[in-house]
Chains A and B, each alone.
Chain A
Amino acid sequence: MASTTSPLDSPPAPPAPPGRPRSTGRVGDKIFIGLSRGSGILLLVIMASIAVFLSYRAVLAISKDEGNFLTTLDWNPAGDPPVFGIAVLLFGTVVSSVIAMVIAVPVAVGIALFISHYAPRKLAAPLGYVIDLLAAVPSIVYGIWGALVLVPYLEGLNLWLDQFFGWTYVFEKTEVGIARSLFTVGILLAIMILPIVTSVSREVFLQVPKTNEEAALALGATRWEVVRLSVLPFGRSGIISASMLGLGRALGETMAVATVLSPSFLISLHVLNPGGGTFAQNIAAKFGEADEFGRDALIASGLVLFVLTLLVNGAARLIIARRKEYSGATA
């Protein structure tokens, strides 16, 4: 567009030719650089404004909060005086995500290894494909499946855990009630992040230089030794970034938690008891009945979730940057 207007409204254009050879940037290049750099900058602006806007609304809400925003075990912004705190949400979010990670990451690495190194050749490609498709299943579908199929199914497992591992305190089920608990949420989140952790790890495992593996085989290594000596060290940064992607998804997952959990504003380490809440679930559940101030309060809790995911992702980036040389990812 700039090139069509310049001949019309810039009379000094004709004397320009002598100057042109000196400037290396041609018009097209300049426009193109401008556009592409502009969109890069726009992304930064969006990120910055997410932080600024959320913080602004959050400050509006927190300044009127009569409770302690960090420690109050209640969420009642519509009350008089308005009282709300994120302690329960933070606890529920972290606990359910940790359960999900503990279950999902080892299994996902196993599946990734299965597809990349163990499965029969003919099976490997279709299996990888199936995993990719499953990564695309929307979270709301996992949500209704979790609520209508998984919850009834886990009753037995919960009783069994309570019976044999009740002494660990964590697995003690003190309340009777269906399995709409943080533990069930953790299992569902694990299932949900499994495909994504798997497909990212598998990509990395497939990139392991064949020569490394062949070198290990030539030394007489068994298949497991090949995996430990060449595949896992090479893929470590990939596994970490995959896990972090999964963790980020688990932390911010809304619909699956909102459908499965029966929320309550309690902190309890008995993960089998129904109750608890997460940031995202609380926002989705409380949004409908919230007035403008209530929405600001929810935005404040969303800001904490935002910071939490920022920290997780930032940490992952740092780890990966440090591992990059070692894994040979730059080569």
Chain B
Amino acid sequence: MSNATTTDVQDDRPRTAPKPPGTGLSSRSLPRWAPLGFAAVALALGVGTGLAAGWHSRTQWGLIAALLFLVISYVVTTAVENRRQAKDRLATSVVWVCFLVAVVPLASLLWTTVSRGAARLDGYFLTHSMAGVLGSEDTGGVYHALIGTLEQVGIATVISAPLGLLTAVYLVEYGKGALAKAVTFFVDVMTGIPSIVAGLFILSIMLMAKIEPSGLMGALALTILMVPVVVRSTEEMLKLVPNELREASLALGIPKWRTILKVVLPTAIGGITTGVMLAIARIAGETAPIILLVFGSQLINTNPFEGAQSSLPFYIYEQYKVGEAASYDRAWAAALVLIAFVMILNLAARGIARWKAPRR
């Protein structure tokens, strides 16, 4: 690709070289509203074709309009301006189209969740479990699932935050040689472990040690998923701490561990907290390990160390599988709760990052 670009530029240079001052200023150019005009024409043609051919799916109308937009703007710009400008405009259009194409499903997802979830979401839903509720009845709630999620995620965080933090400290502050390289490599690899594999790993231990499903087992699987995320983000943050700070502290005769605890970590604490909270947000939505390890329950079980529990994502899956209108409503409402939980964590994380960001 890079070869192609260099030849492109070399091709262009001699062409523009003989008349450098004139071309740039006096060349014809399209008005600034041109892209909007192209978009309007393409949209009209796309809708027209769609109507004429009688396609029901608006997706096709949109796709055709997008394609037409690209073709029209390229051809017109080549005719009026030149090939380089046309390419530039084409790239701009493609980038805009990419963005619009991606926004549609994402907006639809959020809109559906909010609009369908809000119908069922109220105080009753948040404070009642599914005990004795049939799938087709429109009562019941997520209380038991909320408790399960909070406990499982809490345990996972308590284990993985220190573990991840220390590993990151090791990699950034002490890590040299084969061990550090191996840890870095395997942290990367661990980031890619599918959640269901982490679940199967704990399951294989449970099968061998004859352990019954419980919230704790789910939390252990979540830990495996969370640690590498924490290590990665903390590592990035620690690397951002200027070396001058460390050197200044060490030059005052302060031992390295105190330098790390009192200088390096406080400087990076905002970013580290953000990373941990984002990791929590990530594991809070994991369903697969819960299916394998926590088993799900309709009842309130506040003890994560014994007996089956539920969790928000598991609850959504369970209600989806029931397949009744009332259970779909419950699934959407729970999805809204879960998304709200994750979003609040995210917002709080950003807030902390901004608030604690090193100033000046």
- Which of A's residues lie within 8 Å of B, judged by CB? 26, 28-29, 31-33, 35-44, 46-47, 49-50, 53-54, 56-57, 106-111, 113-114, 118-119, 129, 132-134, 136-145, 147-150, 153-157, 160, 191, 194-195, 198, 219-225, 227-229, 232-233, 244-245, 248-249, 251-255, 258-259, 279-280, 283-284, 287, 292, 295-296, 298-299, 302-303, 305-306, 309-310, 312-314, 317
Contact of A39 among B59, B170, B316 (CB under 8 A): B170
Contact of B288 among A153, A284, A296 (CB under 8 A): A284
Q: Is the C-beta of B5 less than 8 angstroms from some C-beta in chain A?
A: yes
Given A36-B167, A40-B183, A110-B94, A50 contacting B316 (CB threshold 8 A): no
Given A136-B342, A229-B9, A309-B197, A114 contacting B192 (CB threshold 8 A): no
B79-116 residues at the A interface, CB under 8 angstroms: 84-85, 87-88, 90-92, 94-99, 101-102, 105-106, 108-109, 112-113
Given A28-B255, A119-B99, A299-B204, 4 more A-B residue pairs with CB atoms under 8 Å apart are A134-B106, A156-B56, A229-B9, A283-B288
Given A229-B9, A254-B287, A302-B196, A29 contacting B335 (CB threshold 8 A): no
19 A-B pairs within 8 Å (CB atoms) are namely A28-B255, A28-B258, A40-B167, A42-B163, A43-B167, A43-B228, A54-B204, A142-B109, A156-B60, A222-B85, A224-B92, A252-B196, A254-B194, A255-B288, A259-B320, A283-B200, A284-B291, A295-B203, A305-B196
- Which of B's residues lie within 8 Å of A, judged by CB? 1-2, 5, 8-9, 16, 24, 55-57, 59-60, 84-85, 87-88, 90-92, 94-99, 101-102, 105-106, 108-109, 112-113, 162-164, 166-167, 169-171, 173-175, 179-180, 182-183, 185-198, 200-201, 203-205, 207-208, 224, 227-228, 231, 255-258, 260, 278, 281-282, 284-288, 291-292, 313, 316-317, 320, 328, 331-332, 335, 338-339, 342-343, 345-346, 350
Q: Is the CB of B91 within 8 A of A223?
A: yes
Contacts of B9 in A (CB 8 A): 219, 221, 225, 229
Contacts of A56 in B (CB 8 A): 204
A258 to chain B, nearest CB (A): 8
Question: Bound complex: CA of A253 vs CA of B285, how far in Å?
Answer: 12
Nearest opposing residue in chain A for B84, CB measure = A222
Contacts of A140 in B (CB 8 A): 285, 287, 313, 316-317, 335, 338
Given A39-B166, A136-B278, A140-B316, A309 contacting B98 (CB threshold 8 A): no
Q: Is the CB of B320 within 8 A of A143?
A: yes
Choose among B84, B173, B278, B335 the residue with the greatest number of A CB atoms under 10 Å from its CB: B335
Contacts of B108 in A (CB 8 A): 145, 149
Nearest opposing residue in chain B for A253, CB measure = B194
A233 to chain B, nearest CB (A): 5
Question: Bound complex: CA of A194 vs CA of B98, how far in Å?
Answer: 11
Q: Is the CB of B317 within 8 A of A47?
A: no
Question: Bound complex: CA of A4 vs CA of B153, how far in Å?
Answer: 33
Contacts of B171 in A (CB 8 A): 40
Q: Is the CB of B95 within 8 A of A113?
A: yes
A76 to chain B, nearest CB (A): 20
Contacts of B278 in A (CB 8 A): 136
Contact of B255 among A29, A36, A54, A228 (CB under 8 A): A29
Q: Is the CB of A138 within 8 A of B342?
A: yes
Q: Is the CB of A110 within 8 A of B98?
A: yes
Nearest opposing residue in chain B for A142, CB measure = B109
Nearest opposing residue in chain B for A50, CB measure = B201
Q: Is the CB of A153 within 8 A of B59?
A: yes
Contacts of A313 in B (CB 8 A): 188-189, 191-192
Nearest opposing residue in chain A for B285, CB measure = A138
Contacts of B56 in A (CB 8 A): 156
Nearest opposing residue in chain B for A147, CB measure = B320
Given A35-B166, A113-B95, A138-B338, A40 contacting B200 (CB threshold 8 A): no
Question: Bound complex: CA of A194 vs CA of B104, how far in Å?
Answer: 12
Question: Bound complex: CA of A264 vs CA of B90, how far in Å?
Answer: 43
